[in-house]
Amino acid sequence: MSNRQRLLITRPTDDAEPLTRLLRGMGFECLVEPMLTIVHEPGPAPDLTGVQALLMTSANGARAFASRSSERRLPVLAVGNATAQAARQAGFAQVDSAGGDVDDLSRLVRARLDPVAGVLLHVAGSRVAGDLATQLADAGFAYRREALYRAETAQGLSAATIAVMTAGIIHGVLFFSPRTAATFVRLLDKAGVMAMVARMDAFCLSPAVAEATRPAPWRRSMVAERPDQDSLLLTVQAAVSDEPARR
């Protein structure tokens, strides 16, 4: 194996692939251990009667909508750049990114859209973070959420991941959600390798994600300056740039 820094990615497979390409371009080696499997819910195309725009809070929402509906003319307001990119890849031409979290998305909606122009359809999973519905209702918007997919948690760490953790050749682990982080910590305990993370860093998208990693004895727990992928990658790069590569 090379002596480049090695990172473990815990994102679902579809999200992990583009992230892996980015990190490899930055000079890292990557291993992927998805903590969630995305399952698209069956059903008809969403009812778009009276809808003025689509709200997307994950790339999985963009992909799930695209699998259900051929509509691509509606404008999309996305929570962050990765979600916006997934919407563009799905064929949407009018896409704006809030570049952050649901609070940023709420501000973008209020700045760009008119409450009297129609309903906002939030295409999402069975679980959502934040309270976008209340924020938009308080601003006078008609809001509807449709769950188009669900995320099923992993039941165990793979033998390959346990092996590299035990060998001490993982520098850090990237976490994008509290649920993912909590699942990983639970599976560390289940596999009996909790102590191994004392030699690793946890790279967390937000303080809430970092809180979910706390039961494990990380070498360091580092939080992105902003809750988006670009900021998290800057955090990773800054944390390891002055350290010798681990063998």
- Model confidence over 83-99: pLDDT tens digits? 999 999 999 999 999 98
Which is nearest to 218 in space by CA: 247, 191, 198, 196?
198
For residue 50, being part of any structural domain is answered with yes
For residue 247, being part of any structural domain is answered with no
Is the confidence at residue 129, as pLDDT, over 60? yes
Residue 245: band (very low, low, confident or very high) from pLDDT cuts 50, 70, 90:
very low
For residue 175, being part of any structural domain is answered with yes
Boundary-marking domain end, from 125, 152, 179:
152
Instruction: Identify the CATH number of the domain in which residue 43 sits.
Output: 3.40.50.10090
Q: What is the pLDDT of residues 194-224, one digit of tens each?
A: 999 999 999 999 999 999 999 999 999 999 9
Phi, psi of 59, deg, nearest 5: -65, -30
Is the confidence at residue 6, as pLDDT, over 90? yes
Mean pLDDT of 164-193: 96
Mean pLDDT of 105-128: 94
Looking at the fold, whether 140 and 161 belong to one and the same domain comes out as no
Residue whose token pair is 């251990």: 33
For residue 246, being part of any structural domain is answered with no
Residue whose token pair is 């959502």: 128
**Angle between helical axes of 229-240 and 13-25 (0-180°, round to 10):** 40
Boundary-marking domain end, from 84, 117, 152:
152
What is the average pLDDT value for the chain, to the nearest integer?
93
Mean pLDDT of 129-156: 93
Q: In angstroms, rounded to a whole number, what is the distance separating the alpha carbons of residues 197 and 190?
A: 14
Tell me what pLDDT residue 126 has.
Answer: 84
Query: Measuring CA to CA, how many Å separate 12 from each of 150, 176, 214?
Result: 12, 10, 22
For residue 245, being part of any structural domain is answered with no
Query: Measuring CA to CA, how many Å separate 241 from each of 4, 115, 234, 236, 245?
Result: 11, 47, 10, 8, 9
Boundary-marking domain end, from 152, 179, 201:
152
Looking at the fold, whether 103 and 186 belong to one and the same domain comes out as no
Tell me what pLDDT residue 7 has.
Answer: 97
Tell me what pLDDT residue 227 has.
Answer: 87
Q: In angstroms, rounded to a whole number, what is the distance separating the alpha carbons of residues 244 and 247?
A: 9
For residue 56, being part of any structural domain is answered with yes
User: Higher confidence at residue 26 or residue 243?
Assistant: 26
Number of domains in the chain: 2
**With contact defined as beta carbons under 8 Å apart, do 92 and 66 qualify?**
no
Looking at the fold, whether 203 and 120 belong to one and the same domain comes out as no
Tell me what pLDDT residue 222 has.
Answer: 96
Looking at the fold, whether 80 and 186 belong to one and the same domain comes out as no
For residue 146, being part of any structural domain is answered with yes
pTM equals: 0.81
Range of the domain at 194: 6-35+155-240
